[in-house]
Copies of this chain bind each other. A is one copy, B any other.
Amino acid sequence: MNPVSSPLLTDLYQLTMLQAYVQHGMEEPATFEFFVRKLPPTRNFLLAAGLEQVLSFLEDLRFTAEELAWLSGCGMFRPGLVDYLEKLRFTGDVHAMLEGTIFFRDEPIVRVTAPLPQAQLIETRLINLLHFQTLIASKAARSVLVAPNKLLVDFGLRRTHGAEAGLLAARASYLAGFTGTSTVQAAPAFGIPIHGTMAHSFIQAHEDETAAFERFACASPDNVVLLIDTYDTEAGAEKVVSLAPRLRQKGIPIKGVRLDSGDLGEHARKVRRILDEGGLTDAEIFASGNLDESVVRQLVAEQAPIDGFGIGTRMNTSADAPYLDCAYKLQEYDGKPRRKRSEGKATWPGRKQVYRRYDAEGRMCSDVLTLEDDPQEGEPLILPVMRGGRRLQASIPLAAVRERARNQLARLPPALRGLEKGPDYPVEVSAALRDLAKAVDEHQL
């Protein structure tokens, strides 16, 4: 059983509830919406990501013979349930904000309408997919905003939480505007450009640092980026300069150096001088090591001569906000709007739409959250993407998603572009939606 695609990668209660729904014939259409209740204190906006993987998950949803046999033998379910699951496919509709769209609190980014057992069963994995990529894309966008003209490379696979997260973090950060990733698998899987230099172990495995540089250069003549901080950063830069003429004779250019420790701005200035004085004015300086958008902003502000940044752990774990307060909630069943009213967790009922308004310069200035059948001024952000279990269009190429994100970031209000918390973006709740919530409350009491 493959954990990535198994429908058993779900919460037990999804199967228990499904059994009860089926037993009682509750298979009318249900509408669920995925949204974020509240932005983390260090986020001014979120960037939608993960829809592509959700649609694939829905298209491919089926229980294998092995999974059915396990369910049948585990003693927790009735035989009828296993028969039902054997035939189960996702036959519902999906509406969504396209990947790369900026969104705010309470705004649904995915809406699922399907027979209740199906719409319920998919909850856990749908949240798992949307939550993670949205989390990482939203974090990565902050580095893109503070360093728009730098090479930004995802370096985080090793400390990202598990294999799938590592691979999807490469996708989410690229989507948000990163230049590429060090994760090889991201190239065949998503066509993302891959980047890499060398590790300290390569230097350490040699008796002599210069010999290590030379061997690496000869083995990878097209991509000579040398790591110079294993023993002493500036001494490493001097060695690069003395090695350069010998490599030049072999026709091998030095593309750059990498710094990975100490005061990166200070080292970069010294190294730049050493490289320039040694005639290596074209060699780039690449920096890594515990970076995040705050450190990058500081280095950019002090005009450190750094051409690119390798950003890893803190981005790929979204270390300052490692999760989003998101939910996938029932908003309508069998044509009737529904609402949860638990303390601090109340939701807006019904099938919703978000309209976005722009100012004269084309910058987004306010959204309206309303019902699907209550047209408002502005651009509707939620579009149909799947009907009857089939996509309405082919997968959107990742390059196009990235372009959409770029456009969206360009249209952010200036007050929300910084790393510090700005004013809340105005999301108005329409009169129609408020009236519906009130009506549902009165009915449900």
Binding site for B on A (CB under 8 A): 1-4, 6, 8-17, 19-21, 23-24, 26, 30, 32, 67, 70, 74, 116, 120, 123-125, 127-128, 131-132, 135, 155, 157-168, 182-185, 187-189, 194-202, 204-205, 215-216, 218-220, 223, 229-232, 260-262, 313-314, 317-319, 322-324, 326, 329-330, 333, 338-345, 444-445
CB distance from A1 to the nearest CB of B (A): 6
Q: A19-B220, A322-B317 are in contact. Are A12 and B342 (CB under 8 A)?
A: no
Residue from B165, B199, B322 in contact with A319 in the complex, judged by beta carbons closer than 8 Å: B322
Contact A15 B184 (CB under 8 A): yes
Complex Cα gap A433–B6 (Å):
48
A-B contact pairs, 27 of them (CB 8 A): A4-B4, A10-B157, A11-B155, A12-B183, A13-B197, A16-B220, A17-B202, A17-B216, A123-B158, A127-B158, A128-B157, A128-B160, A132-B161, A162-B164, A162-B168, A200-B330, A200-B342, A204-B333, A205-B330, A229-B343, A230-B342, A231-B342, A260-B342, A261-B342, A261-B345, A317-B323, A318-B322
Residue from B19, B165, B220, B231 in contact with A219 in the complex, judged by beta carbons closer than 8 Å: B19
Complex Cα gap A111–B318 (Å):
29
Residue from B11, B204, B344 in contact with A183 in the complex, judged by beta carbons closer than 8 Å: B11
Q: A4-B164, A30-B205, A164-B3 are in contact. Are A185 and B9 (CB under 8 A)?
A: yes
Residue from B123, B185, B200 in contact with A8 in the complex, judged by beta carbons closer than 8 Å: B185
Between A6, A204, A324, A333, the greatest number of chain B beta carbons within 10 A of the residue's beta carbon is seen for A204
Contact A185 B3 (CB under 8 A): yes
Complex Cα gap A183–B7 (Å):
11
Which residues does chain B contribute within 8 Å of A223, judged by CB atoms?
A: 16
Q: A6-B185, A196-B12, A343-B262 are in contact. Are A26 and B205 (CB under 8 A)?
A: yes
Contact B202 A340 (CB under 8 A): no
Contact B12 A182 (CB under 8 A): yes
Contact B339 A188 (CB under 8 A): no
CB distance from A51 to the nearest CB of B (A): 16
Contact A262 B158 (CB under 8 A): no
Contact B20 A202 (CB under 8 A): yes
Contact B12 A194 (CB under 8 A): yes
Complex Cα gap A70–B338 (Å):
50
Residue of B nearest to A217 (CB): B20
Nearest 5 A/B pairs, CB to CB: A12-B196, A20-B219, A162-B164, A162-B165, A161-B161
Contact B215 A20 (CB under 8 A): yes
Contact B13 A182 (CB under 8 A): yes
CB distance from A207 to the nearest CB of B (A): 8
Complex Cα gap A357–B344 (Å):
50
Complex Cα gap A317–B345 (Å):
21
